[in-house]
Structure 1
Amino acid sequence: MELIRGIHNILPSHHGCVLTIGNFDGVHRGHAEVIGKLVKKAEQFQVSSCVMTFEPQPQELFRGENAPARLSLLRDKISLLDELGVERLLCVSFNQKFANMPAQAFIEQLLVKKLGVRYLVVGDDFCFGHGRQGDFDMLKRAGEQFGFAVVSTQSFLLGDKRVSSTEVRQLLAKGNLEQARRLLGHPMTLSGRVAHGQKIGRTIGFPTANIALKRKVTPVRGVFAVKLYWQGSDIYEGVANVGFRPTVNGQTCQLEVHLFDFDGDLYGKTVEVELVAKIRDEQPFKSLDALKRQIKNDADRAKALLGFDAG
């Protein structure tokens, strides 16, 4: 899959495509259904399939800390979209300048002139342009004027259900990982680079890999049974905490993973952490000894949930 970073990197060779536009947060089964149809349309029109997404997501610009929790970082999204057979991903820098682009310019300059859209799939609640003046009806009229079809994602249901990122977030907030996985169509993972932490874990017998989440808001909090891996590695099992570490006065939300029977060096590695099952909510403890006892219980619970065999 070709990644086009920013409108300024659209080339003449990118003209002519079938397109869908959205956040594609989590790249869930509803998204997969839409993209599967888009890829078939690309074959029919003999042009490239293209996904336009935004970085940061629009709500993150407008609402900051009050934005919905992000399910996937850009690199996760790239990997998932690539697996679905998308040929091009246009990642638009969503800043105030882009947000202020007149709706008509978005259509004529970007969709028609630069991308040469032949077939467009968007949500019927999609709004764009300065003051959110552009909407689905405006796109339909533009399609008639400039010769491209406009189809609503409402046409693509999973059974009789419309899957949404909002619904996945709600399930994750409740700790219902199994149902969230069904809607996603893939495991819920958190990824990032392992960095040096306070190294408190090793002083109480539970060394951890510390991973910055790089999200304004995190979709999950608590203690989980997990699997961890990186490119070309085996799969390692463990227990993880996602949160602020109140017992040691943590200030930022991060992911800490204790792996069972692992003594290698993970510093600097970019890892994927699959959340298998939630064990409990995060809570403060009066002492490191109390924290140590709880982590021991959490680790035993995680081993049971994972069917971990130390042999």
Structure 2
Amino acid sequence: MKIIRGIANLHAQFAQCVLTMGNFDGVHLGHRSLLARLREVGRQYDLPTVVMIFEPQPLEFFSPDRAPARLTSFQEKYHQFCQLGIDYLLCIPFNEHVGSLSATLFVQEWLVKQLGAQYVIVGDDFAFGARRQGNKQLLDHYAQQGCFRFESLQAFEYQSLRVSSTAIRDALAQADFVLAEKLLGRPYAICGKVIHGNALARQLGFPTANVHLQRNKAALQGVFAVEVIRIATGLTYHGIANIGIKPTVEGKKTTLEVNIFEFNQDIYGEDLQVLFRQKIRDEQKFTSLDALQKQIAQDVCIAREIKAKF
């Protein structure tokens, strides 16, 4: 799969395509159903498949405080799209200009003129353009004018539950990792590069790998039993992870720290995949570092007991 960053960088990549658009946060079963249909249409028309996303996501740009927690970073989405056989990922840098583009201009200039879209597929709740005035009715209008073929897919359901990014966030908020996995089609995980931290956990006797979150808000908070995969080797380990601001030491920024059991190698700069299996407790502020150290020791014991289940 090839990444195209910005509409201006299309050049002569392709003259026509079949296209879908959206946030695709989580790349869940509903998204996968839509992408499977896109690939099917691409084969029928013998045209490349294009997925258009925006970074940052529009609400993250306009109202970062109100924007929902990210399920997947851009890099995580990229890897999912690669596995799903998409030809091109068109990543539009979202800014004031893009946000002010009218829905009609978006269709006429971008979809028809620039992309040469011959078939457009979106979810039934998709909206676009300034003030979200574009919708499936507008796309259908242009389809009736012969600009392209258009299809709006109905929501994908799991046991009568609409599969959506919101439903997955709700499941994660309840620490229901079984349901989250059913809706995602895979265990919930966070991927990121190991970066340097303040080494406090090492001083407490529980050295951790600090994993770059690559998102403004995380969908989880607390202490968890986890599995950890080293991307470079594919080897899997068990451990315990904390996502939060570390209130005992007056932390301000949300971080992900992972203590990997029976592991003492230098992995700075490596990419890890952290799979969340069970929540142990919420993050809390302790009266002293000694109290925090004792609680971490208890958490590790619980995580080791949980380890036997997986």
When the two structures are superposed, what TM-score results if normalisation uses the length of structure 2? 0.95
Partner of 1:275: 276
Q: Distance in 2 between matches of 1:28 and 1:308?
A: 25
Using the TM superposition, name which of 21-30 and 116-125 deviates more.
116-125
Encode CA deviations 1:248-284: one digit per residue, 9 max, x unaligned: 1111000011111111012122221111111111111
Alignment of 1:194-213 (within 5 A): 194-213=194-213
| C-alpha distance in structure 2 between counterparts of 1:176 and 1:281, whole Å | 14
**What aligned pairs does 1:292-311 form with structure 2 within 5 A after superposition?**
292-307=293-308
Q: Which residue of 2 aligns with 1:63?
A: 63
- Equivalent residue number for residue 152 of structure 2: 152
Counterpart secondary structure, 2:64: helix
1:217 CA displacement: 1.5
Runs of 5+ consecutive residues of structure 1 not aligned to the other structure: none
Other structure's SS at 2:145 match? helix
Give the counterpart letter for 1:197 in structure 2.
G
The residue matched to 2:287 in structure 1 has which SS?
A: coil
String of CA shifts for 1:37-86, please: whole Å, max 9, x gaps: 11011101110111111100111011112201010000100001111111
Q: Distance in 2 between matches of 1:33 and 1:75?
A: 21
Q: Distance in 1 between matches of 2:89 and 2:195?
A: 29
Deviations 1:201-226 (A, max 9, x none): 11121011112323221100000111
Q: 1:260, 1:156 → 2: CA distance? A: 39
Change over 3 Å in CA distance of 1:30–1:265 after alignment to 2 = same
Which whole-Å CA distance do the structure 1 matches of 2:263 and 2:103 have between them? 54
CA distance in 1, matches of 2:157, 2:178: 20
- Count of aligned pairs between the two proteins: 309
Distance 2:72 2:130 in 1: 27
1:135 aligns with 2:157: no
User: Greater shift after overlay, 157-166 or 278-287?
Assistant: 157-166
Taking only the aligned residue pairs, the percentage that are identical comes to 43
CA separation of 1:159 and 1:150: change in aligned 2, threshold 3 A: farther
Quote the residue 2:180 is aligned against: 180
Distance between the aligned counterparts of 1:133 and 1:86, measured in 2? 28
Q: Which AA in structure 2 matches 1:185?
A: G
Larger CA deviation: 200-209 vs 146-155: 146-155
Distance 2:21 2:221 in 1: 30
